[in-house]
Amino acid sequence: MRTMMKLAAPAAAALIGVVGCASTQPGPQGMSFFVTSAGPGKGGDLGGLAGADRHCQSLAQSAGAGHRAWRAYLSTQGTSLTDANFVNARDRIGAGPWHNAKGALIARNVDELHSDRNNLNKETALDEKGRRVNSRSETPNKHDILTGSRPDGTAFPFHQFPQLFAGAQMPDMTCGNWTRSGNEGSAMTGHFDRAGPINAPWATSWNSSHPTLGCGLDRIRPTGGDGLFYCFAAN
């Protein structure tokens, strides 16, 4: 009996190890984060948050990860100083942890994702098929990722200095809450490869680097983007 118990212990430990690591295994079953391989094709018009979420879900489904509920990492802005109908990207992606298609950990939770401890970079920010996305040093450059967010993952305000300039508005940082596809408006982007023209926090931010020149693809591409965005599994 004692011999059997000695033999059984390693087997049990191995089984526990397999079960404990199931969510970190490479492939669609363990994937909970990706960069879209393509946008819907209308620049900053993603069909609102609902349309962006559907795009995430569709790409995940095509990769074999449709069993999860996918959400686009995007913020929206209110329409007035007192409008509370804005959305913070950080509030819509679940609690984590998140892994890419190869099983690499991106972040354990929301706070870590929005800190210097996250593992989101050129090597880990893969698309839904586990492929690398063109970085700043490649052609065409696709490192500008749509987020509409500030560094902490929250939304931009719509108005600025109302006590000094009545009716003054903050710039559009979400392409009209992801419904614009022309020259009007802009969207804040981040650099998934953590690379920029200078070594400064804004230039290397994964989620809040600089706005686009407009909302059409022809206005998104000149600064190094292709209308791509981040998708996270909320469960």
Cβ-defined contacts of 116-119 (< 8 Å, 24+) = 118/206
The pLDDT, as a whole number, for residue 24 is: 65
In-domain check, residue 185: yes
Instruction: Give me the mean pLDDT over the 138-165 stretch.
Output: 83
Q: Kindly state whether residue 15 falls inside one of the protein's structural domains.
A: no
CATH number of domain containing 215: 3.10.100.10
Among 10-14, 80-84, 177-181, 188-192, the range scoring the smallest mean pLDDT is 10-14
Structural domains counted in the chain? 1
Is 23 domain-assigned?
A: no
pLDDT at 110 over 50: yes
Convert the pLDDT of each residue in 17-46 to its tens digit: 333 333 467 888 899 999 999 999 999 999
Residue 5 lies in a domain: no
Tell me the pTM.
0.86
Q: How confident is the model at residue 168 (pLDDT cuts 50, 70, 90)?
A: low
Is the per-residue pLDDT at 219 higher than 80? yes
pLDDT band at 82 (very low <50, low <70, confident <90, very high): confident
Give the structural domain span for 226.
30-233
12 lies in a domain? Answer: no
pLDDT > 80? residue 95:
yes
Higher pLDDT pick, 5 / 228: 228
| pLDDT over 60 (residue 234) | yes
What does the mean pLDDT of the chain come to?
A: 88
Q: Is residue 204 part of a domain?
A: yes
Q: Is residue 7 in a domain? A: no
pLDDT, residue 135, reads: 97
Mean pLDDT of 149-175: 74
Q: Is residue 41 part of a domain?
A: yes
